[in-house]
Amino acid sequence: MDALYLADSEATLWAEWYRHLAERAVPPLAQMPRAPWTWLVDVEVADLSTAERLSTASLMPPTPGQASWRPYQRVGERLAREGWIGLLAPSAAHPAGRVLCLFREGSTVRGASPVGRPRTIKAPPAPPRGLRT
């Protein structure tokens, strides 16, 4: 299932980006420039943003790395079949942050649209405090 992943803050965005690069052993400069977008989201999603809510879905708090993805993917697939548009979950790379996963229908994402134009960032920022890779 295709999805759009959004971060709740710049710190979460960059933590997830650095985690993604570290997992693939890609140096940050090899992925520059970047053009992050701001999105307007107005949908009801499944809230799995706390340890207690994760537990109700038989999930543990996320840890960085693809090895932990499959249980989350199964829950996401089930939620999509049940009609949910997406889910809110803790960030594996930035424990204080949250990520929003919106399920795609082809090239569209219901209830979400980009705002304005992206800004171009030519150099990677310092890794955020609390980053986990």
Q: Over the stretch 97-118, which tens digit does the pLDDT of each residue have?
A: 999 999 998 888 889 999 999 9
Q: Inform me whether the pLDDT recorded for 1 exceeds 80.
A: no
Reported in sequence order, the residue ranges of 2-133 that DSSP labels E, i.e. its strands, are: 3-7, 38-41, 46-47, 86-90, 98-103, 112-115
- Read off the pLDDT band of 74 (50, 70, 90): very high
CA dihedral (60, 90, 88, 86) positive or negative: negative
- Read off the pLDDT band of 133 (50, 70, 90): confident
Considering only 30-34, 64-68, 76-80, 107-111, which range has the smallest mean pLDDT? 64-68
Calculate the CA 10 to chain-centre distance: 12
Q: What pLDDT, on a 0 to 100 scale, did the predictor assign at position 25?
A: 94
Between vectors from CA 98 to CA 96 and to CA 103, what angle results, nearest 5°?
165
Q: What pLDDT, on a 0 to 100 scale, did the predictor assign at position 97?
A: 95
CA dihedral (73, 59, 133, 28) positive or negative: positive
pLDDT > 70 fraction of the chain, expressed in percent and rounded: 100
pLDDT > 90 fraction of the chain, expressed in percent and rounded: 77
pTM reported for the whole predicted model? 0.89
Structure tokens at 98: 């949250």
